Amino acid sequence: MLAIQAHTLDTIFNELARRSSANVGEYMEAADRYMRLALKAQSQCRATIETLAEMKNPKPVAFVQQANIANGPQQVNNIPNGVPSSGESRKSAKQTIGAI
């Protein structure tokens, strides 16, 4: 479907560019309008072809665990499994001090 759209937009661009060049000598305003429409069709054709290329060859996707983006100071607490939380570590510290 997108390939047909790209081909049609290319045909429209060529026809409008031809009409613009045919009006250059006598009707400059008409030539300008035809050329503007032709360039819009060409831009849409380029975007359609770019979309087709992206669908055929997608960009690789990266799955990241965490992204730390900050403009100022930032604290990040990454606690792996099995490491006690801050409350548990205080209890074990008090037990260790009490045992001494």
- pLDDT, tens digit, for every residue of 33-83? 999 999 999 999 999 999 999 999 888 887 777 666 767 777 777 777 766
Q: Is residue 20 part of a domain?
A: yes
Residue 78 lies inside a defined structural domain of this protein = no
pLDDT at 87: 59
**pLDDT for the residue 25:** 87
pTM over 0.85: no
Count of domains for the chain: 1
Between the alpha carbon of residue 61 and those of residues 39, 48, 52, 100, the distances in Å are: 33, 22, 18, 54
Task: Please check whether residue 72 lies inside any domain of the structure.
Answer: no
Q: Residue 52's closest CA among 99, 6, 18, 89? A: 6
Residues 89-100: pLDDT tens digits? 656 656 655 665
Answer whether residue 81 is part of any domain.
no
Could you tell me if residue 88 is inside a domain?
A: no
Residue 75 has a pLDDT of 73
